[in-house]
Amino acid sequence: MLQKNESQNVEYKLLWNDEYLKWICGFANAQGGKLYIGVNDSGHVTGISNAKELLESIPNKIVTNLGIVADVNLHTENSLDYIEVVVYPSPTPVLYHGVVHYRSGSTRQELRGTALQEFLMKKRDISSGIAV
């Protein structure tokens, strides 16, 4: 069994939905994280039937829509397949359909206004080597 609760760096989903690219974007813009497909909110593996198909489609969707690379791994527990998507923090802003998503606590936020400006300033300082 995986850790019991979702957290800043862990999100569980029963099935894949392309909307989860927003969560991946949020992880990349924050401290990174892991998205598990085929796992319920309690961290119990429920399994997925299309794991082999997802091993091909998810990495391609991440690169095409977000311009980043994430590790997509197949795991099996009690004969049930599940997918682990490992997202690393990005030194530059990652956008999904022109929107910056950010992982805060166990939520995904769409950054706008002042929050977006502050995020962009922080990312610029980090990528240019300026201490904040």
Q: What is the pLDDT of residues 4-42, one digit of tens each?
A: 788 889 999 999 999 999 999 999 999 999 999 999 999
Q: pLDDT digit string (tens) for 29-80? A: 999 999 999 999 999 999 999 999 999 999 999 999 999 999 999 999 999 9
Q: What is the average pLDDT across 109-129?
A: 84
pLDDT at position 132 is 45
Burial class (CB in 10 A: 0-12, 13-18, 19+), 23: buried
CA distance 131 to 17: 38
Q: Which of the two residues, 122 and 13, has the higher pLDDT score? A: 13
pTM, two decimal places: 0.89
